[in-house]
């Protein structure tokens, strides 16, 4: 939560000044002014004109607004000019081309200011976000100001704020003004609220103008990132790592998984990868002896064993993790099996007790839909040695034998997708796959390492993973798919 720097003394007063910067808005300005004047909270409407030649200032004056001429062409200058003329502490900015406003918009926007709950209010609305918002503003906010990335409409010109706060800020004099104010208010540690104002309609803009808008928005944002020390490689790397961890969380992964009725879960080492990643990494870093002390060591819990193994690789570059994951050979038929199952309507996931950065690389190599694994954290491009166990591997009503278990992942996914266990295919090769193999509708042991794995699976295949597509269950699924 953003700290409060402008506490005020209770309510800032019962009245609101509405400021409307305009340039050639003759089609809509009268209705915008009349809309503002209908609110009992508003005692002045100030239209700041940027040299309109279509009669906008005359129409605004006739509708009851106070009209002033801007000291300089540009929205930012007009917003500042309105700020200087306004008599109230509570200010509300509206665009001059708005249509279809909800009747209580002004009340919604002003209430957090008047009731001393916020110092700055940003609007959000149901209209789909514009291209500049989606392609420029939001990606840059996620990179440089992730604490503001949740705002749905960061470029909205409908804002409210305290005059005492806004007077202390710098107004960009182009399309960067709205994103600039949002960032500057946050950097000033003021209280920020976001208010839903329903549906609004704006004039559409040409592609050329949108390109200019995107340039100005990016310039304003990067300027502030530079001035507060965030526009540097180390900071961007840190933010990128935070975004990677966020996107790897099972909740995020499953939220973005397209709906399906069938699910396939693959182990990674020995099933998709022809070998064991952690051994390859140890060989490449000269840590084979250290790894052998803990790998498959049954004297410690699986969670503690995973943490101790992670510490061995502290300081190893992220690039090496990815390089090994990209260059290790896949088992024969891995791609064919995954793509074939997806064609049959399955959502295919990689589930492993290895590292997420590796699982995600392998997922992309075999064209699977998602991956779930333990999260190794990286600092300045190197492994920290600190690991977060995959939350989906732990479930309070999950496996009765193991605290950390892949069958917990199954339960986790079923609860969130509604897919029944009878519609799940699982493929594994080791002891840590046994519980999962026993719990699903169709189970496959690929080159099983122990008799227990063979016994847990309904099907055993060898040599090529593509044999999965020839199993009776898959053939039935194919027929169902064709019939549908």
* pLDDT tens-digit series, residues 358-382: 999 999 999 899 999 999 999 888 9
Q: Same domain, yes or no, for 226 and 299? A: no
| DSSP code at position 104 | T
Strands (E), 197-301: 262-266
Q: What number of other Cβ atoms are within 10 A of residue 347's Cβ? A: 22
Total of domains in the chain: 2
pLDDT band of 2, cuts 50, 70, 90: very low
Q: Same domain, yes or no, for 446 and 301? A: yes
CA neighbor of 291 nearest in space, from 270, 276, 274: 276
Q: Same domain, yes or no, for 30 and 158? A: yes
Q: pTM, whole model, 2 decimals?
A: 0.61
Q: Same domain, yes or no, for 193 and 294? A: no
pLDDT band of 269, cuts 50, 70, 90: very high
Would you say residue 168 lies in a domain? yes
The answer, yes or no, to whether residue 435 has pLDDT greater than 80, is yes
CATH number at residue 266: 3.40.50.1000
Q: Give the structural domain span for 170.
A: 16-231
Average pLDDT value for residue range 137-152: 91
Would you say residue 263 lies in a domain? yes
Would you say residue 9 lies in a domain? no
Count of residues making up the chain: 484
pLDDT of residue 233: 66
Average pLDDT value for residue range 83-102: 93
Would you say residue 6 lies in a domain? no
Would you say residue 347 lies in a domain? yes
User: Which region, left, alpha or beta, applies to residue 259 given φ > 0 means left and ψ of -120 to 50 means alpha?
Assistant: beta
The answer to whether 240 and 402 are in contact (CB under 8 A) is: no
Average pLDDT value for residue range 80-93: 96
pLDDT of residue 468: 95
Would you say residue 160 lies in a domain? yes
Would you say residue 52 lies in a domain? yes
Q: Same domain, yes or no, for 185 and 293? A: no
Q: Same domain, yes or no, for 189 and 276? A: no
| Partners of residue 22 on adjacent β-strands | 49
Q: What average pLDDT does the chain have? A: 89
pLDDT band of 98, cuts 50, 70, 90: confident
CATH number at residue 29: 3.90.550.10
pLDDT of residue 484: 29
User: Which region, left, alpha or beta, applies to residue 34 given φ > 0 means left and ψ of -120 to 50 means alpha?
Assistant: alpha
Of 231, 259, 278, the position where a domain reaches its end is 231
């Amino acid at each position: 939560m953003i700290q409060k720097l402008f506490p005020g003394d209770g309510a800032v007063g019962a009245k609101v000044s509405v400021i409307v910067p305009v340039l050639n808005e003759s089609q809509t300005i009268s209705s915008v002014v009349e809309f503002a004047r209908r609110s009992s909270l508003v005692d002045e409407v100030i239209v700041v004109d940027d040299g309109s030649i279509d009669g906008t200032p005359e129409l605004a004056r006739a509708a009851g607004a106070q009209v002033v001429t801007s000291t300089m062409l540009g929205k930012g200058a007009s917003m500042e000019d309105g700020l200087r003329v306004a008599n109230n502490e509570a200010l509300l900015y509206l665009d001059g081309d708005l249509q279809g406003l909800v009747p209580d918009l002004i009340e919604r926007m002003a209430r957090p200011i008047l009731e001393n709950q916020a110092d700055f209010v940003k609007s959000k609305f149901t209209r789909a976000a514009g291209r500049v918002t989606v392609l420029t503003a939001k990606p840059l906010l996620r990179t440089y100001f992730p604490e503001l990335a949740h705002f749905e409409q960061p470029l909205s010109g409908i804002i409210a704020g305290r005059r005492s706060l806004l007077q202390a800020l710098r107004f960009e004099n182009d399309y960067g003004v709205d994103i600039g104010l949002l960032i500057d208010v946050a950097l000033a540690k003021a209280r920020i609220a976001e208010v839903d104002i329903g549906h609004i309609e704006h004039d559409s803009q040409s592609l050329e103008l949108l390109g200019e808008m995107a340039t100005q928005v990016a310039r304003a944002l990067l300027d502030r990132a530079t001035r507060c020390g965030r526009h540097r490689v180390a900071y961007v790397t840190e933010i990128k790592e935070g975004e990677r961890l966020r996107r790897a969380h099972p909740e995020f992964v499953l939220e973005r998984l397209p709906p399906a009725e069938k699910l396939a879960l693959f182990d990674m080492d020995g099933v998709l990868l022809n070998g064991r990643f952690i051994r390859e990494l140890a060989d490449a870093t000269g840590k084979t002896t250290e790894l052998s002390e803990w790998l498959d060591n049954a004297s410690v819990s699986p969670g503690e064993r995973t943490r101790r193994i992670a510490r061995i690789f502290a300081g190893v570059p992220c690039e090496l993790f990815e390089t090994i994951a990209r260059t290790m050979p896949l088992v024969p038929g891995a791609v064919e099996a995954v793509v074939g199952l997806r064609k049959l309507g399955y959502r295919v996931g990689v589930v492993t007790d290895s590292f997420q950065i590796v699982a995600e690389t392998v997922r992309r190599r075999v064209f699977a839909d998602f991956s779930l694994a333990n999260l190794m954290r990286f600092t300045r491009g190197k492994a920290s040695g600190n690991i977060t166990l995959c939350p989906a591997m732990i479930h309070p009503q999950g496996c009765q034998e193991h605290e950390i278990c892949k069958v917990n992942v199954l339960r986790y996914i079923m609860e969130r997708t509604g897919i029944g266990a009878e519609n799940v295919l699982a493929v594994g090769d080791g002891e840590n796959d046994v519980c999962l193999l026993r719990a699903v509708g169709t189970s496959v042991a690929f080159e099983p390492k122990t008799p227990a794995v063979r016994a847990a699976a309904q099907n055993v295949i060898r040599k090529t993973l593509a044999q999965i597509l020839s199993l009776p269950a898959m053939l039935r699924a194919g027929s169902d798919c064709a019939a549908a």
